Structure 1
C-alpha cells in the first residue's frame, strides 16, 4: 500500500530567475502581439474594477457635496496615478509582470535579461503614451519586429519574454 504524504505548511512558489535570457533563435521566446493584447485586457479589467469601486465611493461623495468642476480632472489624475503605479510597481517587482502578464506567462525584463528598476518601469509606462499617440503604431510594431518590441519597449530598452 503506497504511503500518503503528510501534510505540512504550504510551500511558496520559487522566486523568479533574473538571468533569464531570451532565446537567440527565431524569437520564439518573446511575447508576441496577441498574447500581449490578452494580458493587457486582463489588466484593463482589473484596473476597471478598481476604478469603478473608487468612482462609486468618490462619485457618491461628489454628488452629496453638490459637485465641483475640478472633480473630473481629479478623477483623471487619480486614474493616471493608479495605472502608473500598477504597471511600474508590478513590472519592477520580483515577478516582473502585471497580473495579466503573469496569467499568460510573460515577464518584462531589460534588454540584458535583468529585472526592471522602478524608474525603468516608469519610463516604459509613460513611453506607451507615445506609442498610442502615433495612431497606436508603436504597439502594432510588436507584431513586426524581430524581438517583438513596441516603440515603448525600444525607448525603455525592455523585452517581454515568455516564461512558460
Structure 2
C-alpha cells in the first residue's frame, strides 16, 4: 500500500496525501509532515525519503536537537543500574548455588562484580554502533550517538569514543563538564572521537 502523509497547512493538519499530492502542493523543506505511523511531526527536510524526492538538503544539526547533560547523566545512571543489577543477580546465583565456602564466595563475588566496568564499555560500544545507536539508558531518554553529520557511528568510532572516556575521567571529570561550555554539548570524549549525542526527534 502506498505511503500516505499528513501535512500541516496554515497551522492545521490536512490529508492524508499521496506522494503525487505532495508534489502538487509544492512542499517546502520547513513544512511539518508525518506518516500515520509517526508519533510526532517532522520538517519535510528531516525525512530521508522526502529529501530524495524533492531534492532538499540534509538539515544541519540545530542546537535544540543536542542531548542535554542531564539527559546523558540520567541515561548513564540507568545503564549502570541495569548492568550492575544483572551482575548482582549473577553473583548471587553463582555463590549461593555453586559455592559453599565463605571465603571463596567473597572472592568470587568481588571477581564477578569487578567485571562490570569492562562489560559496560563493551555494552556501550555494541549498542552505540548498532541500528538503535543508543544504550538502553539512552533509548529510555530518547537520545542517541551520531557522528558530526548526524549519521550512525561505526564500531571503530564507538570504540574510540568509549576509550576516550578515560581522558574525561582523568581530568577529574572536567571532560564531562565541557558539555556546558560548547554549543553542541560535547564532552571531551565526544570531541576526541568526533561524535554528538542528539535527541531522537531529528532523523
Q: TM-score range by the shorter chain?
A: 0.7 to 0.9
Determine if the alignment matches structure 1 residue 85 to structure 2 residue 129: no
Q: Which position in structure 2 is the counterpart of 1:146? A: 183
Q: Taking CA–CA contacts closer than 8 Å with sequence separation of 6 or more, which of the two structures ends up with the larger relative contact order?
A: 1
Unaligned runs of 5+ in 2: 1-36, 39-47, 52-57
SS in 2 for 1:112: coil
Q: 3-state DSSP class of the match of 1:28? A: helix
Uncovered stretches (5+) of structure 1, i.e. residues with no partner? 1-11
Counterpart in the other structure of 1:53? 89
Alpha carbons 1:88, 1:125 under 8 Å: kept: yes
Matches within 5 A, 1:93-132: 93-132=130-169
* Maintained 8 Å contact 1:124/1:155: yes
Q: How many residues align?
A: 148
The normalised TM-score by structure 1 is 0.76
Structure 1 pair 81–145 and aligned structure 2 pair: CA distance change class (3 A): same
Tell me if structure 1 keeps the 8 A contact 2:84–2:113. Answer: no
TM-score, normalised relative to structure 2: 0.62
Counterpart for residue 28 of structure 1: 64
Which one has the bigger strand percentage?
2
Return the index of the structure with the highest Cα Rg.
Answer: 2
Structure 1 residues 73 and 50, CA, compared in 2 at 3 Å: closer, same or farther? closer
The change in CA–CA distance for 1:72 and 1:45 in structure 2 (over 3 A counts) is: closer
CA shift for structure 1 position 34? 0.9
